[in-house]
Amino acid sequence: MRFQSLSFSLRKLPRRARVACALPVVWIAFGSAFVALKVGVATVPPFLFSGGRFLLVGALLLGWSAWRARGRLNVSRQDVLIAAATGGGLIFAGQGAASWASQYLTPGIVAVLSSTMPLWAALIGWVALGTRVARLGTVGLVAGFGGVAFLVWPTSRAGVQLVPAVVTTAGAVGWAAGALFASRSSFARRPTLMTALQMLVGGGLQVMLGLGSGEAGQVGLQQVVPAFPVFLYLVIVPALIGFPLFTWLLTHVPIHVANTVSYAAPVVALALGWLLLGQQVTLRTLAGVAVILVGVGLIVWSAKGTAARKEEVRQLDKRAA
């Protein structure tokens, strides 16, 4: 989704200045979302809080798409199935797991474990789809998964509860599977509309899970009022500002530059959690985080090299023809 005012403001700046402005905004928007989520689920049950947010944002994006298309969305059955598959992985599994785990883990830890998505995407692509992983990427996989094991290994000093950590990591697997499916589907044809549909599906599934698990009985005016400001923040900043900027970056800079959010957002979440919420950050936590982020960084940069080699081969084939 690209708001006209946002696009107009970006176009007035030189290219490098636009990227330099967009990147830190995306890092802060996505990293701060984990802190806001921690505050929100402290009073409102996680699935209703997170699911309600995605239902609202999905409805706004759908309305925007309908307005741009003058009411002619032409949503096919295949579009709905794709939205159901990607929404189930990205929103229901990925975001739902992060929301639930935020009750027990610090924002930084949730962000770091969620950021392992590129590791899982590379592993799933390698095992299930036969996608080749470069040597640098293999080192990244080993480092990343080793860092996760080090971070969540049971110890009285780590301060990381095992079950919520495993749930968050499982959510990252679901996110990776959903992202891979989206990349091989017609999702990119109409990204705003498909994102709206997947948010409605994933958010709806979260709300259904929340209602089925009795969360409705835990919600009252006393819980909703203090959580409303962070709910509004999550709707506006990460979803309606961060998402359009990230989408803009994906179409204007190399993918490895846009994906720096995978290791910048956890750092932002750790810093804001310590600064705003007084969350303790141990040396063990910092060590585990550093190893994981190195692994993620190697995966992202190896993807850059693979893409460059593919483009070089394509150009050589073109010249030979």
Please determine, for residue 310, whether its predicted confidence score (pLDDT) is greater than 50.
no
Q: pTM here?
A: 0.81
Structure tokens given for 209: 């899970």
pLDDT reported for residue 169: 92
Please determine, for residue 309, whether its predicted confidence score (pLDDT) is greater than 50.
no
Secondary structure of residue 96 in the 3-state scheme? helix
pLDDT digits (tens, 9 = 90+) for 284-307: 888 888 888 888 778 777 765 554
Mean pLDDT of the residues in the chain:
81
**HEC-encoded secondary structure of 152-171:** HCCCCCCCCCHHHHHHHHHH
CA angle 98, 103, 108 (to 5 degrees): 60
Contact at 8 Å (CB) between 169 and 93?
no
Least confident span in 41-55, 168-182, 279-293:
279-293
pLDDT reported for residue 314: 45
Those residues whose C-beta lies under 8 Å from the C-beta of residue 76, and which sit 6 or more positions away, are none
Sign of CA dihedral 109, 110, 113, 117: negative
pLDDT band at 207 (very low <50, low <70, confident <90, very high): very high
Better-scored residue on pLDDT, 214 or 122: 214
pLDDT reported for residue 304: 59
pLDDT digits (tens, 9 = 90+) for 88-139: 998 999 999 999 999 999 998 899 888 888 888 888 888 887 777 778 878 8
pLDDT reported for residue 122: 82
Least confident span in 167-171, 189-193, 225-229, 312-316:
312-316
pLDDT average, residue stretch 176-197 = 77
Residue type, 164: P
Q: How far apart are CA 77 and CA 182, in angstroms?
A: 16
pLDDT digits (tens, 9 = 90+) for 6-50: 544 555 666 677 777 888 898 899 999 999 999 999 999 999 999
Contact at 8 Å (CB) between 49 and 40?
yes
Q: What is the DSSP string of 178-241?
A: HHHHHHTTGGGGSHHHHHHHHHHHHHHHHHHHHHHTTGGGG--HHHHHHHHHHHHHHIIIIIII
Q: Where are the chain's structural domains?
A: 4-320
Helices (H), the chain: 4-11, 15-40, 46-68, 77-86, 96-101, 107-114, 117-129, 135-152, 162-183, 191-212, 221-234, 243-252, 255-258, 261-277, 283-320
How many Cβ atoms from other residues are within 10 Å of residue 259's Cβ?
23
Contact at 8 Å (CB) between 244 and 1?
yes
Those residues whose C-beta lies under 8 Å from the C-beta of residue 61, and which sit 6 or more positions away, are 1, 192, 193, 195, 196, 199
Structure tokens given for 76: 């096919």
Q: How far apart are CA 61 and CA 251, in angstroms?
A: 19
Question: From the centroid of its chain, how far is CA 309?
Answer: 27
